[in-house]
């Protein structure tokens, strides 16, 4: 198509598929990690310590948010999963919901598991 003597190219934007969205997210993450890698090599020790503290604080904040959300939805008898160091992915039943942990029963044993490690099934 020509408009005022300038060739105009029409671009049809298609909604990305789930796989394309995942790839876009992975590419963005890889790009962000590459930027962070470069920055780490150019920052002073103090700047690296400050960045590390910021990342740790954000991780703690996200963990608290996840714990609050889960605590409101979990109750005794709910089926959950968590990643165990010894047995890997473990299915369990909640016995009691506590402030930060849940008492769960898995394979005949009871464990105190942090809420942030639990996923409702």
CATH code of domain 18-120? 2.30.30.140
* DSSP for the chain, written as a single string: -EETTEE----PPPPPPHHHHHHHHHHHHHHHHHHHHHHHHHS-HHHHHHHHHHHHHHHHHHHHHHHHHHHHH--TT-EEEEEETTTEEEEEEEEEE-SSEEEEEETTEEEEEEGGG-EE-
Residue 72 in this model has a pLDDT that exceeds 90 = no
With bands split at pLDDT 50, 70 and 90, how would you rate the model's confidence at 2?
very low
Please check the confidence at residue 14 and state whether its pLDDT lies above 80. Answer: no
**Higher confidence at residue 117 or residue 5?**
117
Q: Is the pLDDT of residue 4 over 50?
A: no
pTM: 0.58
């Amino acid at each position: 198509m020509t408009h005022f003597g300038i060739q105009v190219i029409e671009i049809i934007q298609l909604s990305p598929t789930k796989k394309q969205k995942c790839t876009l997210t992975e590419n963005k993450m890889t790009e962000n990690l590459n930027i962070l890698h470069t920055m780490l090599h150019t920052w002073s020790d103090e700047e690296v310590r400050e960045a590390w503290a910021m990342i740790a604080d954000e991780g703690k904040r996200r963990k608290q948010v996840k714990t609050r959300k889960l605590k409101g939805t979990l109750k005794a008898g709910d089926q959950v999963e968590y990643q165990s160091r010894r047995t890997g992915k473990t299915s369990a039943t909640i016995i009691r919901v506590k402030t930060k942990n849940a008492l769960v029963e898995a394979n005949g044993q009871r464990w105190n598991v942090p809420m942030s490690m639990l996923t409702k099934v």
